[in-house]
A and B are shown apart, each in its own frame.
Chain A
Amino acid sequence: MYSFSYLKPASIKEASNILSVSDENKVISGGMTLLPTLKQRLARVENLIGLENCGLDKISLQEGILKIGAMATHDDVSNSKLIKSENPAIAELASQIGDRQVRNRGTIGGSLANNDPSACYPAALLALAGKVHTNKRDIKAEDFFVDLFETALEEDEIITSVSLPKPEKAAYEKFPNPASRYALVGVFVAKFDSEIRVSVTGAGEEGVFRCLEIEKALLAEFSIESLSNILISAEGLINDIHAEADYRAHLIVEMSKRALIKSLTR
């Protein structure tokens, strides 16, 4: 690891001031992605800005909408009574991320900012039509994810919290990569009053995306039969040593079915 200074600002304002001074400064949340990158010298920073004293770990209900602080760990989210009762699919998603030690440190803000094409939270944000709140503005899920590991966040922008509307029914199912536990394919199905949103992670060459074919089929009827004859094209899907694009296309349907069944059991 190259050397750097570690700073612990006491407010988000102070953190963003430090961040805006130089593009060699970077914020760190759980460090589960950033530290391995620094250890392998794939990145270099001058100052690491720890967000632990900025009070960003609150989980609350605001005007009926679940608001999760950027520093809430995957473990906090999976065990939160409020999330389990308001939006259990999110708690379940968090409980499936990585392993216990990753969940004890990794955060929702870090995961979304990183926008790994195989990460789990991006699927939830997109399917639930959530919003990312930063020190500068609110960003809609649709506008947030730009490309692999790329988001709409500006250099000196920090995620402070995330809002996730409550669906009528929802569930997330992933086929984990047996080695890394990341999603080989993960599907989040969400049913709202007049809309169905289905998002897919782990499969898209440009990262998380909405699967309109499956949404359309489920809008006609929210049942497993609607998916029995559906075929998804492998075009635009990731083809790598872990799985061929065709197989991922197949898994999208399979994970959608499983998520649908799970969503109907509650």
Chain B
Amino acid sequence: MKQVTLTVNATKHKHNISDHMLLVDFIRERLKLTGTHIGCDTSQCGACVIHVNGKSIKSCTMLAVQADGCDITTIEGLADGDVLHPMQQAFHENHGLQCGFCTPGMIMSAIELIDGKPDITEREIRHGLEGNLCRCTGYQNIVKSIQEAAKFDYR
């Protein structure tokens, strides 16, 4: 057991956890933030992507103890009250999801991907989504959503 202190979506948390607890399990089971999903066992699907210290990572492949002291953002931390984050809004407007299972991971990856790149090309977006799998949409509208959101200057 170890005590960890970390900031998740601007709230500080202090918890006693087992050393072998995965970060994704900590987020889902301890913090009850179930927007971060688990879609595979092989670190390939990207449903679990969150930001740790501003970088996108697969939370199923990091231990919660390794995130001690880190600043974390999950999908729940994006919207400002009822106002969606521009990336969420773009997915909403462009029908960028069907079942929605891959969406939180897609959005977290996409935000890092377009950072500082308003003119990102379709090719770059498709390449940048290598770590995120979607079983429903065929990616077309996901790519469209991301391209749309890239044009929006939200900083």
Contact = CB atoms under 8 A, between A and B. Distances in A.
Contacts of B18: 3
A104 B19 contact: no
Contacts, number: 73
Interface string A63-76: 00000000000010
B56 interface: yes
A99 B62 contact: no
B131 A3 contact: no
Given A31-B62, A39-B22, A101-B56, 19 more contacts: A1-B20, A6-B63, A31-B61, A31-B66, A32-B61, A35-B22, A36-B41, A38-B20, A39-B41, A50-B66, A52-B66, A98-B130, A100-B113, A100-B131, A101-B58, A102-B58, A102-B131, A104-B56, A105-B57
Nearest to A50: B66
Interface stretch (B28-36, B42-50, B78-86, B88-96): B42-50
Interface residues of A, number: 27
B109 interface: yes
Majority DSSP secondary structure for residues of B touching A: mixed
A149 interface: no
15 contacts: A3-B19, A35-B22, A35-B61, A36-B43, A36-B61, A75-B55, A98-B131, A100-B56, A100-B131, A101-B58, A102-B43, A104-B55, A104-B56, A105-B57, A105-B62
